[in-house]
């Protein structure tokens, strides 16, 4: 009979096919492997979608042409402070966007107030921010979605959509009582999903008066004439001998603020997923060992017929990989269905107040989940495949 070099791929394909066809006979173990892998991938993607969502909020909190000015050495608005004179100097700096009323800057201050959460009824911190007239234009994404803007000079607040969702009693028409002060809620706003949505805003002057802050501020938010004008603005302020400030793009500022929490969550997610992955690898090992045990005689028969050792190893690896990827796909879909856009609130450790955000199951996370599944499949398949390839053909042929 004619015969040449062996058709290796068709060997692998044939053996893989028997393996996959025999899955119904090994339902239990196969289901366990698939579920185990799916669990790892779901948890991994789920936990990391928290970090991704948090990062996304922080990153969407600043347009590229927005800048924040803090006192030099301050890492956050909490520990920064300016007097009226300084904020005026900042507003006079070159490189700023302007409208008919002047440069687009907003000197701001904020206080932390305690409000009960809708979900648990327990109190948590919400920033109440005092802003100046140009604040909404400085943050171009700000949009009043119900009610209206607060009126300057009045004890009125507008509430970010995230805070309104998270905290009780923040609906338009409600009145927030803090100490002796009463703050009617007159509007709800969105800010492109950014951090501002977790805050409440009022007029800066009113807030200064209510909290005996005199004429002091904590930060200045500014809109640049263009993203490229940042250096000009920054240089003018940092070289001004009458100022001692730090100038950052708002996006950079928030990104910096989110790094710690995001990397903490990411680390935790990877750790949990790794622990579960160890379990899943054992599950896959078990499944593939039992697959090899159940097919000892078949594998030996194929080897007797002339199928190669490498083809056996590869086919079993492929089988293991297919199972794990099946589990991975299920896990990724589950994570997407459950976690994507799931909203939550967490502490922003730099301002000690609540940040509301949506979990983000990003394509990158899905890809990483699939990579985890691949690794589980490869590691779980390798040892059983090697065992199968090492089977002494002669004695394995007689195995029942």
DSSP, res 18: H
Residue 100 interacts with, from ligand ATP, another protein, none (CB under 5-8 Å by kind): none
Judged by beta carbon, residue 214 or residue 392, the one nearer ligand ATP is: 392
How many residues of this chain bind ligand ATP (CB under 6 A)?
3
> Which residue(s) pair with 372 in the sheet?
none
Judged by beta carbon, residue 241 or residue 392, the one nearer ligand ATP is: 392
Residue of 14, 149, 209, 322 interacting with another protein (CB under 8 A): 14
393 binds ligand ATP (CB under 6 A): no
393 binds another protein (CB under 8 A): yes
> Rounded distance, CA 183 to CA 175, Å?
5
CA dihedral 259, 260, 263, 264 (to 10 degrees): -160
395 binds ligand ATP (CB under 6 A): yes
Q: Are 148 and 201 in contact (CB under 8 A)?
A: no
User: Residues 259 to 318: which contact another protein by CB under 8 A?
Assistant: 297-298, 300-309
Tokens of 268: 């935790």
Judged by beta carbon, residue 229 or residue 386, the one nearer another protein is: 386
390 binds ligand ATP (CB under 6 A): no
Residue 305 interacts with, from ligand ATP, another protein, none (CB under 5-8 Å by kind): another protein
Indicate the SS3 state at residue 292.
Answer: helix
> Rounded distance, CA 112 to CA 150, Å?
19
Of 149, 91, 104, 68, nearest in space to 351 by CA: 68
99 binds ligand ATP (CB under 6 A): no
Residue 2 interacts with, from another protein, ligand ATP, none (CB under 5-8 Å by kind): another protein
Helix, strand, coil share of the chain (percent; to 5): 55, 20, 25
399 binds ligand ATP (CB under 6 A): no
> Rounded distance, CA 68 to CA 221, Å?
5
Residue 393 interacts with, from ligand ATP, another protein, none (CB under 5-8 Å by kind): another protein
Residues in contact with 72: Cβ distance below 8 Å, sequence separation at least 6, in sequence order:
244, 245, 246
Least CB distance from residue 398 to ligand ATP, whole Å?
Answer: 8
> Rounded distance, CA 341 to CA 232, Å?
39
Which residues of the chain form contacts with another protein (CB under 8 A)? 1-4, 6-7, 10-11, 14, 18, 21-22, 297-298, 300-309, 393-394, 397-398, 400
Which residues of the chain form contacts with ligand ATP (CB under 6 A)? 392, 394-395
């Amino acid at each position: 009979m004619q015969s040449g070099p062996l058709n290796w791929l068709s060997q692998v394909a044939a053996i893989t096919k028997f393996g996959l066809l025999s899955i119904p006979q090994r339902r239990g173990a196969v289901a366990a492997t698939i579920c185990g892998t799916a669990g790892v991938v779901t948890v991994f993607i789920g936990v990391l979608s928290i970090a991704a969502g948090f990062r996304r909020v922080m990153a969407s909190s600043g347009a590229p042409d927005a800048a924040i000015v803090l006192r030099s050495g301050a890492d956050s608005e909490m520990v920064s402070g300016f007097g009226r004179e300084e904020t005026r100097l900042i507003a006079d700096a070159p490189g700023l966007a302007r409208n008919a009323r002047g440069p687009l800057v907003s000197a701001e201050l904020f206080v932390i107030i305690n409000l009960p959460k809708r979900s648990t009824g327990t109190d948590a911190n919400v920033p109440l921010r005092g802003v100046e007239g140009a604040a909404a234009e400085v943050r171009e994404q700000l949009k009043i979605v119900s009610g209206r803007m607060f009126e300057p000079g009045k004890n009125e607040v507008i509430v970010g959509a995230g805070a309104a969702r998270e905290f009780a009693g923040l609906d338009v028409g409600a009145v927030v009582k803090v100490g002796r002060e009463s703050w009617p809620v007159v509007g709800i706003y969105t800010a492109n999903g950014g951090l501002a949505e977790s805050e409440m805003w009022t007029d800066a002057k009113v807030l200064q008066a209510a909290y005996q802050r005199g004429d002091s501020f904590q930060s200045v938010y500014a809109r640049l004439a263009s993203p490229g004008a940042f250096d000009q603005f920054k240089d003018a302020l940092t070289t001004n001998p009458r100022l001692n400030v730090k100038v950052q793009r708002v996006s950079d500022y928030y990104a910096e603020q989110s790094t710690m929490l995001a990397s903490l969550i990411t680390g935790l997610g990877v750790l949990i997923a790794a622990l579960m992955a160890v379990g899943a690898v054992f599950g896959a090992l078990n499944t593939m060992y039992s697959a090899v045990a159940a097919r000892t005689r078949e594998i030996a028969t194929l080897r007797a017929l002339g199928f190669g050792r490498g083809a056996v190893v590869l086919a079993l690896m492929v089988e293991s990989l297919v199972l794990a990827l099946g589990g991975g796909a299920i896990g990724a879909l589950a994570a997407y269905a459950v976690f994507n856009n799931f909203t939550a609130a967490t502490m922003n450790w730099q301002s000690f107040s609540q940040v509301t955000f949506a979990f983000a199951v990003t394509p990158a996370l899905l890809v990483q989940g699939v990579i985890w599944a691949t690794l589980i499949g490869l590691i779980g398949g390798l040892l059983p495949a090697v065992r199968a390839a090492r089977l002494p053909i002669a004695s394995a042929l007689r195995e029942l």
